[in-house]
Amino acid sequence: MSDTVVDESARAETDILRVSNLEKRFGGIVAVDGASFGIERGSLTGLIGPNGAGKSTTFNLITGVHRADAGRVIFQGEDVTGLGPQQLVGRGLVRTFQISRELSGMTVLENMLLAFQGQLGESLWRTVTPGVRGSLVEQERELLDRVWETLELFEIDHLAHEDAANLSGGQRKLLELSRALLTDPDMLLLDEPMAGVNPTLEKKLLDRIHELRSQGYTFLLVEHDMDVIMNNCETVIVMHQGQVLSQGTPEEIQGDERVIEAYLGGEV
């Protein structure tokens, strides 16, 4: 009995996120079918599996986009099951989407400011026009400086006043990740951040992820490119038909018969 308590608290300390027995049905489809796993704080973990395995739905359940039919989500030791996306962002859990959700008709800079939804006065919104900073209060000026620093970090600052609709697929992914970072997260869930990104940008994105990770951020990454997963993640979780098939190091996963079977049998 006391052993169990010790085990649980030890895990709670190293795992920033734990999900247990997550379930989600859409009509007759069981998209997520009792998925359980833990994510170690400060790790870069890959979540892989054939199309339709339930990866994006799992992200949606963790980040409160969809409500789970069953199961629990524990983040930083607290039960956050059923909380909405904004509440989770407030607790340090943020995600990016497989299909970028930047708003066209708004500039890159305005899209970035959406990260501060609810925290900003009208004045900042009025003064995103280049050169107009005079009427900003100190706190807003600091936020705006952070926005510019983040745009520079991802090398999209030259696009700040461009309509987000004019960005390339890769630039949109950078914008999404930049905006997610502005929310001061502890953990980022990235759903195929490299899809449609050219090799130069992909390398840049991976470098940034490693840099941020060394600063203490935790990443969970959905990605179909096996080289990216195997070369960058220290832990890999494999989903298949809504369930967790396997979890281990890249070497363990590559040698796992069940994983090989699921991929060869599936449509990868």
Q: Which residues bind ligand ATP (CB under 6 A)?
A: 26, 29, 31, 49, 51-57, 98
* β-strands 44-48, 70-75 pairing: unpaired
Give the residue at shortest CB distance from Mg ion: 56
Q: Which is nearer to ligand ATP, 17 or 109 (by Cβ)?
A: 17
| Whole-number Å distance between alpha carbons of 43 and 14 | 10
Q: Which is nearer to ligand ATP, 97 or 154 (by Cβ)?
A: 97
Residue 49 touches which member of ligand ATP, Mg ion, none, C-beta under 5-8 Å by kind: ligand ATP
Would you say 36 and 20 are in contact if contact means Cβ atoms under 8 Å apart?
yes
Instruction: Report in angstroms how near the CB of residue 219 gets to ligand ATP at its nearest.
Output: 17
| Whole-number Å distance between alpha carbons of 116 and 210 | 25
Residue 92 touches which member of Mg ion, ligand ATP, none, C-beta under 5-8 Å by kind: none
Q: Which is nearer to ligand ATP, 225 or 256 (by Cβ)?
A: 225
- 7: nearest Cα among 43, 38, 42: 38
Residue 54 touches which member of ligand ATP, Mg ion, none, C-beta under 5-8 Å by kind: ligand ATP
Q: Which is nearer to ligand ATP, 26 or 125 (by Cβ)?
A: 26
Q: Which is nearer to ligand ATP, 24 or 179 (by Cβ)?
A: 24
Residues within window 71-130 making contact with Mg ion, judged by CB under 5 A: 98
Which H, E and C letters describe the chain, residue by residue?
CHHHHHHHHHHHHHEEEEEEEEEEEECCEEEEEEEEEEEECCCEEEEECCCCCCHHHHHHHHCCCCCCCEEEEEECCEECCCCCHHHHHHHCEEEECCCCCCCCCCEHHHHHHHHHCCCCCHHHHHCCCCCCCCCCCHHHHHHHHHHHHHHHHCCCHHHCCCEHHHCCHHHHHHHHHHHHHHCCCCEEEEECCCCCCCHHHHHHHHHHHHHHHHCCCEEEEECCCHHHHHHHCCEEEEEECCEEEEEECHHHHHCCHHHHHHHHHCCC
Instruction: Report in angstroms how near the CB of residue 114 gets to Mg ion at its nearest.
Output: 23
Instruction: Report in angstroms how near the CB of residue 104 gets to ligand ATP at its nearest.
Output: 23
Instruction: Report in angstroms how near the CB of residue 98 gets to ligand ATP at its nearest.
Output: 6
Instruction: Report in angstroms how near the CB of residue 55 gets to Mg ion at its nearest.
Output: 5
Q: Which is nearer to ligand ATP, 18 or 55 (by Cβ)?
A: 55
Instruction: Report in angstroms how near the CB of residue 89 gets to ligand ATP at its nearest.
Output: 21
Residue of 43, 45, 56, 81 interacting with Mg ion (CB under 5 A): 56
Q: Which is nearer to ligand ATP, 54 or 156 (by Cβ)?
A: 54
Instruction: Report in angstroms how near the CB of residue 228 gets to Mg ion at its nearest.
Output: 15
Number of residues this chain uses to bind Mg ion (CB under 5 A): 3
Footprint of Mg ion (CB under 5 A): 55-56, 98
